[in-house]
């Protein structure tokens, strides 16, 4: 059983970034939503969400988040969704230590929301099942469920149909060119490929070539991203992540990744991250349940 939580006790919970190792658009639903195939690779690097239980039922964000009003913050919305679903009278203060670039395609807002759901379910002792938490997450965004479930996965549908994958352990250099890419504009782009042939998990694991459907669109519209892809491409198969502005390359060792980061040109920010099969959030949850708190 976890430690008792007092009103003045803060606890910290990881909210990892993700990479889309590829992203194909294979069609559209009748309601206009695009049907995707992708692989979510979770990382050992990301944001941290700090939470403090309140007895008065209020949900408050502590601190500011550039360009995001508190009521629009996915973490705040996640807390309110859980509060309503569970019928709890408890509230929470929420503070987020941001490391994941906003609009970068690394899932920062979605991961913050998922961590808020999972952690507050523990702290409030509301006891929802993983499927229920993932369902709440899907109501907030298509990427939230993979972070709730906490396992790198093959994804289909709008990104919510997940199959856990055992991926080879790789190190990644994640590069932020500083470009905030609006997802809605990319989905509306006339040059976007929306009819890619469907891939299967065995063919993906066997090494069949893949791509990111958004990459040519982003290259054409965001010169800073195009330049970063060209620079990183000298070290391997550089690729855009998701529908954002960040990109990555996979390498075999931490030392190789660190060497690339050391050569990062001015104007770019680069990070070393390790791909993980299970989210650090799951380890933190196990730790809390064991009584470490």
CA distances to 50, 97, 251 from 92, in Å: 10, 16, 40
For residue 3, the model assigns a pLDDT of 39
195 classed as catalytic? no
Residue 1 has pLDDT above 50, yes or no: no
Q: Which of 93, 112, 143, 176 is catalytic?
A: 143
Mean pLDDT for 127-141 is 97
User: Which band of pLDDT confidence, cut at 50, 70 and 90, is reported for residue 214?
Assistant: very high
Give the confidence band of 2 by pLDDT, cuts at 50, 70, 90: very low
User: Does 155 score more than 90 pLDDT?
Assistant: yes
**pLDDT for 4:** 43
Residue 175 has pLDDT above 90, yes or no: yes
Of these residues, 18, 47, 112, 121, which one is catalytic?
18
Q: Is 143 a catalytic residue?
A: yes
């Amino acid at each position: 059983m976890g430690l008792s939580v007092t009103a003045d006790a803060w606890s910290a919970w990881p909210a990892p970034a993700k990479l889309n190792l590829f992203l194909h658009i294979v069609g559209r639903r009748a309601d206009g939503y695009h049907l995707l195939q992708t692989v979510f690779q979770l990382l050992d690097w990301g944001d941290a969400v700090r939470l403090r239980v309140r007895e008065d039922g209020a949900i408050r964000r502590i601190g500011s988040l550039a360009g995001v009003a508190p009521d629009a913050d996915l973490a705040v919305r996640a807390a309110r969704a859980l509060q309503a679903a569970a019928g709890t009278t408890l509230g929470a203060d929420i503070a987020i230590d941001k490391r994941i670039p906003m609009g970068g395609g690394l899932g920062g807002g979605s991961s913050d929301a998922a961590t808020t759901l999972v952690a507050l379910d523990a702290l409030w002792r509301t006891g929802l099942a993983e499927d229920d938490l993932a369902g709440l997450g899907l109501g907030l965004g298509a990427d939230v469920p993979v972070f709730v479930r906490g396992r790198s996965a093959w994804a289909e549908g709008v990104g919510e149909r997940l199959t856990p994958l055992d991926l080879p352990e790789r190190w990644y250099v994640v590069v932020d060119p500083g470009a905030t890419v609006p997802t809605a504009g990319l989905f509306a782009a006339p040059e976007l490929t929306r009819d890619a042939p469907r891939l299967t998990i065995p063919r993906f694991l066997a090494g069949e070539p893949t791509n990111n459907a958004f990459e040519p669109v982003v290259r054409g519209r965001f010169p800073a991203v195009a330049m970063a892809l060209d620079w990183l491409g000298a070290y391997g198969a550089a690729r855009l992540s998701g529908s954002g502005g960040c990109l990555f390359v996979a390498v075999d060792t931490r030392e190789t990744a660190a060497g690339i980061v050391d050569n990062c040109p001015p104007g770019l920010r680069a990070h070393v991250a390790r791909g993980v099969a299970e989210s650090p959030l799951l380890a933190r949850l196990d730790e809390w349940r064991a009584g470490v708190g």
